[in-house]
Amino acid sequence: MISEKMKPLVANNSVIRVMFEEGKRLASIYGAENVYDFSLGNPNVPAPKEVNEAIVETLMEEESTFVHGYMSNAGYEDVRATIADSLNQRFGTAFHQNNILMTVGAASGLNVILKTILNPGDQVIAFAPYFVEYGGYVRNYDGELVVVSPNTVDFQPNLDEFVEKINEKTKAVIINTPNNPTGVVYSDATLTRLGEILREKEKEFGTEIVLISDEPYRELAYDGVEVPYVTKYYANTVVCYSYSKSLSLPGERIGYLVIPDEMKDSTEVFTAATIANRVNGCVNAPSLMQRVIKRCIEKGASVNLEAYDRNRNRLYEGLRECGFTCIKPEGAFYLFVKSPIPDEKEFCATAQKYNLLLVPGSSFACPGYVRIAYCVSYEQIERSMPAFEKLAQEYKLK
């Protein structure tokens, strides 16, 4: 009954499902508190109190048919203007409301822009390790995902290999900073060079290449590290933002695209993206949440970053003491740890014996590493430490 395109997705889904079912099975045997599930990027830090305040205020102060009604497919104009202003204040940009398109989260924003620009056979480049869903999104529009292999020294993108992989079929490049799964923030130097390469290659091939900056973790950066604003480095940039992590609203499906004036055919791209948002069935980003985002920006709401930072430090130090190797993440809420054996899937299986659920790096096109999502309670991290120690002992890491 199902389509040919869906068949591999259903087949590969079962792999992830096995892990999910395994977690539930372990919890039923050992008790949920004795299973250390680090597999999911589902924030445990609650949405800031301003979110629920803004919801109630919206319901009290704004008209029902307006709050819950259809609006322009790009979103409410005042919401988009507020977002543009806020970006301009924080990053010195010059956006206006017609650069901002409200989306059903970043996942949908990525689909909207890919649907807008991709022709069948077009190539989209991603840097390993990368969010594995990109492959599915690109194939939705019959594009081909081309992967640049990881630079495991510091997990900045491997730009030498990147230069080699760009060709006349390259339509887009996806970057994600702060990065899932490494927590690395792409540096000013990286983005400067990336922009140069893209401009050179556009000239060489006489093409336009869109740089898609997937930024659900922009606000999650630690130790005062700066996350450069990507539109400043390259004109044909589309930013894909989400409030899933920055306001802990992943279930609500709210984010936006930035399509800057500097982009080639900017107005047409914006119109087409607005139509893509409608035709793919989203129609518009959820209306109440749009109203809420405006108020949250005005209130200066932000998620409790200290909680993640505390988790980050505790887990990083703890794992280092056990003898594990990983670079300290500057952003997001993931640690990317080197597997003590080349086959990190086997390592994950061993970890499961100690009720530790970790995601193999091959799920991010980066075998030999595992991802630990620390968007969990501090208590879970504390409780998991003896398990990590036993795991380290099994591999004689100390």
Q: Which of residues 29-58 bind a second copy (CB under 8 A)?
A: 40, 42-47, 51-52, 55-56
Q: Which is nearer to ligand PLP, 84 or 212 (CB)?
A: 212
Q: Is 43 in the site for ligand PLP (CB under 6 A)?
A: no
Q: Is 180 in the site for ligand PLP (CB under 6 A)?
A: yes
Q: Is 126 in the site for a second copy (CB under 8 A)?
A: no
Count of positions on this chain that bind ligand PLP (CB under 6 A): 14
Q: Which residues contact 233 (CB under 8 A, 6 or more apart)?
A: 191, 192, 194, 195
Site for ligand PLP in 91-110 (CB under 6 A): 105-107
CA distance 20 to 272: 38
Q: Is 213 in the site for ligand PLP (CB under 6 A)?
A: no
DSSP 186: P
Cβ–Cβ < 8 Å for 283, 75: no
CA distance 200 to 158: 17
Site for a second copy in 218-257 (CB under 8 A): 248-253
Q: Is 250 in the site for ligand PLP (CB under 6 A)?
A: yes
The least distance separating ligand PLP from the CB of residue 315, rounded to whole angstroms, comes to: 18
**Residue 230 C-alpha from the chain's centroid:** 15
Cβ–Cβ < 8 Å for 290, 104: no
Strands 334-338, 369-373: pairing is: antiparallel
| Of 181, 149, 150, 179, the residue nearest 165 (C-alpha) | 149
Burial class (CB in 10 A: 0-12, 13-18, 19+), 41: buried
Q: Which is nearer to a second copy, 78 or 265 (CB)?
A: 265
The least distance separating a second copy from the CB of residue 82, rounded to whole angstroms, comes to: 17
Q: Which does 176 bind (CB under 5 to 8 A by kind): a second copy, ligand PLP, none?
A: ligand PLP
Q: Which does 89 bind (CB under 5 to 8 A by kind): ligand PLP, a second copy, none?
A: none
Q: Is 379 in the site for a second copy (CB under 8 A)?
A: no
Out of 37, 50, 202, 214, the only residue in the binding site for ligand PLP (CB under 6 A) is 214
DSSP 231: G
Cβ–Cβ < 8 Å for 217, 242: no
Out of 110, 147, 212, 315, the only residue in the binding site for a second copy (CB under 8 A) is 110
